[in-house]
Amino acid sequence: MTTLRAIIYCRVSSKKQTLNLSLPVQEDQCRAFCKLNGWEVDRIFVERGESAKTANRTELQAALAYLRDQNKRRVNIHVFVVTNVDRFARDAFDHAIIRRHLAGLGVTLRSVSQPIDETPAGKFMEGIFAALSQFDNDIRGGRTRAGMQEALRRGQWIFRPPLGYLADGKSLKLDPERAPLVRFGFERFATGLYTKVQVLEELTMRGLRTRGGGELCPQKWGEMLANRAYISRIVQRSWEIDTAATGLPWSTKTPSGVARASSPRTARSCRRSVTTRTSRSGASSPAATAGTPSPAPGPRASASATPTTIARRRPAAARRTSPGVTWRPSS
Give the DSSP per-residue string, 233-296. EEEEGGGTEEEEPSS-TTTTTS-HHHHT-SSHHHHHHHHHHHHHHHHHTTTTSHHHHTT-PPPP
pLDDT score of 243: 79
pLDDT score of 318: 41
pLDDT score of 281: 42
Angstrom distances, CA of residue 329 to CA of 133, 190, 248, 271: 60, 10, 25, 10
DSSP 318: G
* pTM, 2 dp: 0.55
pLDDT score of 168: 80
Question: Which among 178, 242, 246 has a CA at the least distance from the CA of 211?
Answer: 178
* 95-100 long-range Cβ contacts below 8 angstroms, 24+ apart: 95/130, 95/133, 95/134, 96/130, 97/55, 98/55, 98/60, 98/64, 99/126
pLDDT score of 128: 92
Return the sign of the alpha-carbon dihedral for residues 274, 276, 280, 283.
positive
Mean pLDDT per segment of 10 residues, for the chain of length 331 residues? 86 83 91 92 89 83 91 88 90 90 91 91 91 89 87 83 84 86 90 90 90 88 87 81 70 42 47 44 38 42 40 42 38 39
pLDDT score of 299: 43
In the chain, the domains with their CATH numbers are: 5-148 (3.40.50.1390), 165-288+295-319 (3.90.1750)
pLDDT score of 213: 87
